[in-house]
Structure formats: structure tokens, C-alpha cells
Amino acid sequence: MADSYFTNNDENVARTITGEQPTTPLVSTDLDSVRAYQWEISFMFNQVDPLNGVQKPLTLAAKQVNGIGMSVEDIEVNRVNDKVYYPGRPSMDELVVTFDNLQKTKADKLLYELMGATYDPRTGEMQNQAIPGGGGVGTMPSFKNEIQVVQLTGKGLPRNVIRLFGAYPKSITHGEYNYSTNEFHTIEMKFRYDYFVNTNDKKGTVNSTVG
């Protein structure tokens, strides 16, 4: 039987245009979704001065985010004629963020220094525990930190937060330099993270409730 959302058989969701009944069924609003372009990303790598350090420039430069996801491996169990499966070890996908190479904030330099927290080719050091913040203000307390993706409403207000814990830069790749293109130069960075939590509200509180 057809769902009443899609047929004119309920007085509360009637879609007959007569002037006496509502002209928009519930389906017109119940299927509203989060827009792919209504988001903002925050890099919690500079706790001392997030406004004037690396936080604001990198948030403004970020133009695309991919790779928030997880999966579990299959454990295959064979017994006589049967084959069944159990969940095995979990693994997290790689976070891929594409940045516009902003001129004013020198995003390429900031991203290079961010990558230097994992490996700094100037010194040969791995897992450097402190990188300079923008303008020399503040230091990064650890090479593994948190990344937050804030989903926004149509009014530009925070809806809820996706928190990625234990994140660190894994790779950095400069986009193509080409005289014939008419696009901004971009830089792609991949981040590895230990786990992520999809929170319920704009506060980003980790909880286990839906409502």
C-alpha cells in the first residue's frame, strides 16, 4: 500500500490545490537534509591562540572534506557446511582535506609547519612535540590532537559536531601548477585519526543518546 506521504488520502497531508486545504504535503519538509556545503572544520592543534594562530587561517582555507568513516573486518568461521561471520578489528578511514592556498595567510607555509609536527625534514625529527603557531604565538602541545567538523543549519548556526580524536597529519600534496587553468591553487592533506564520534548537538558533548 502506498505511503500517505505520497498520496492524497490524508486530510493532514492533502496536496490538492483548492484554496481550502494545505498545498504542501509533509514530504516537502520531512525530507529536508543537511547540506554538503554547510559546514566548518576546526583544527585543535593550537590551544594557546586559536584565533590568531593556525586555527582561523586553516578553517578559512579548507574547501573540501572527505574520509570520515569506519569499518570492521570480517572474521570468517567455517563449520562443516556452514560459513558465518563475526565482527573483527575496527579501522578508521583517512581524513582528506583540500585547502585553498590563501595568499594573505600563507596557507602553504602553515600546512607545511603542521606536517612538520609529524616529520620535520629540516631536522629529521619525528613526532615533534611543539610547532610554532602563526606569528610565533603559542606551541602545539602534542603531535596528535583533535579535529572537529561542525555541521551548520540553513541559518549558519552549529547543528552538531563530528569530533575526530588522535588526529595527526599523514601526507601533504601540492595541487597542479598550470598556466592554462583558471582555478585557485590547492593543497591536499591526509590525516589519520584513532576514532571519531558523531555528537548530538552544537556543544559536541560525547554521549550515547539520539534525541
List of domains in the chain: 37-74+82-198 (2.30.110)
Residue-wise pLDDT tens digits, 131-140: 444 433 344 4
Q: Report the pLDDT value the prediction gives residue 33, as an integer from 0 to 100.
A: 86
On whether the pTM is more than 0.85, the answer is no
Among candidate residues 40, 62, 57, the one with its CA nearest the CA of residue 133: 57
CA dihedral (64, 100, 193, 210) positive or negative? negative
Structural element, H or E, at residue 82: strand 82-92
- Tally helices (H) and strands (E) across the chain: 3, 11
Instruction: Give me 34's grid cell.
Output: 543537511
Q: Are 197 and 188 in contact (CB under 8 A)?
A: no
